Amino acid sequence: MKKITISVLALLLAVIFTVTPASASNFKDVSSKHTLKIEIDYLVETGVIGGYPDGTFKPNQLIQKKHIAKMMAAALQLPKDQLKHPNYKDVSRSHPYYEDIAALYTAGIFSDAPYFKPDSYISRAFMAKILAEAFDLKSIAQNSVTYKDVNQSNPFYRYIQLVSMNQVATGYTHGYNDMSFQPNKILTRAHFSAFLARAMTLNKDTYTPNPSYTYYYDTGSSSQERLVFESNNSGRDNIVETFWKSYQGSEVGKRVYNVRDGQWAYGIPNTGIGTFIPHPFTIGVKRDTLRSNGYSNEKIEVLETNATIKIGKTTFDNVVVIQETTLNNTGSLNAIKIYLAPDYGVIGSSSNRTNKFLQSFSHRIAR
């Protein structure tokens, strides 16, 4: 399938609903347009970060190891009792970050060394190591990436592959099949926050409908849409691919769900109409070409990976919320949200302008 947009997908799918928004950060130096605001907000909402007393976050400041220890101890909810003393010569028991550092040492995330260097900075490669180990990231072979600056002899190769395979950190694209990871690049507070938030929100579920059911959707018109399973092409090379027939009134269409090569897709087979989202799911901006004057002017974001949504009498947990903002011919922006649920696939789409569903799940019946 070709690159496709969610706004077009919303037309395919063609109730008012309420989702209580979590409190977002109001840091003076993190604007609403900041590319990593979703991740920073998530860490605020989960109590991992709080910023500085002057109301700033200092996103571009290099992050120190002691602050990384504090953030990770909070993110992992590590216990602070029965701590092993790390014996770092530069971290005494009276050090203000001692408990956080010791908690990560006790958990095996920080290792033995003469010095911890709490005021030092870390590289992207070291970030990959501590996050891969802390969150026990698993290999996804079909998602492996070739970086021109990280060969297999690099001691951090495996960790860099793990964070890349799991959509926690991606490299820099310089051209077709030309990518670098920049393993020695020092991390800012914003970038480490983004990587940590993505690791915390990692969701590997395939989010495709169960073929044992026929699905019905309200579309705002007099007739419902009915999605009927047709065939299954899953299994080969760990691909998940199911084909469906869509009935609405006298119209009959084809649909396909596809999870492969690090992407989740839903659309019309062999037309290039539908959407691609990086998979596994993690929060953050996944594509932004707004006002690029290129092939596609759009911004695709994963807002949540573990939301709870109620549609009618059905409550869905672990919902992935995707938002696509497009630029129309008049120069105004239009935002569409797509909601995905495990074992159901797409359960609804809504417009930010009206806060109404364009399409919503009604019910399903066992075949």
Q: Give the C-alpha separation, 129 to 127, whole Å.
A: 5
Predicted pLDDT of residue 43:
97
Percent of the chain with pLDDT over 90: 74
Indicate the pTM of the whole model: 0.90
Look at residue 293 in the predicted model and tell me its pLDDT.
61
pLDDT of residue 16: 31
Q: What is the pLDDT of residues 310-365, one digit of tens each?
A: 998 899 999 999 999 988 777 788 899 999 999 999 999 998 776 677 889 999 99
Q: Using an 8 Å Cβ cutoff, are 349 and 320 in contact?
A: no
Residue 22 confidence (pLDDT):
38
Assign 76 to helix, strand or coil: helix
Q: pLDDT digit string (tens) for 164-185?
A: 999 999 999 876 678 999 999 9
Q: Largest Cα–Cα distance of the chain, in whole Å?
A: 76
Q: What is the pLDDT of residue 95?
A: 98
The pLDDT value given to residue 198? 99
Mean pLDDT of 130-145: 96
pLDDT at 250: 79
Show the domains of the chain with their CATH numbers.
6-18+205-366 (2.40.360), 37-200 (no CATH)
Mean pLDDT in residue range 237-257 = 90
pLDDT > 70: percent of the chain: 90
Mean pLDDT of the chain: 90
pLDDT value of residue 355:
66
- Token pair for 211: 């073929």
Mean pLDDT across 101-117: 97
107-130 in b/e form (b: 16+ CB < 10 A) is bebbeeeeebebeebbebbbbbbb
Within 8 A by CB and 6+ apart from 319, the residues are 304, 306, 307, 308, 309, 339, 340, 341, 347
pLDDT tops 60 at residue 17: no
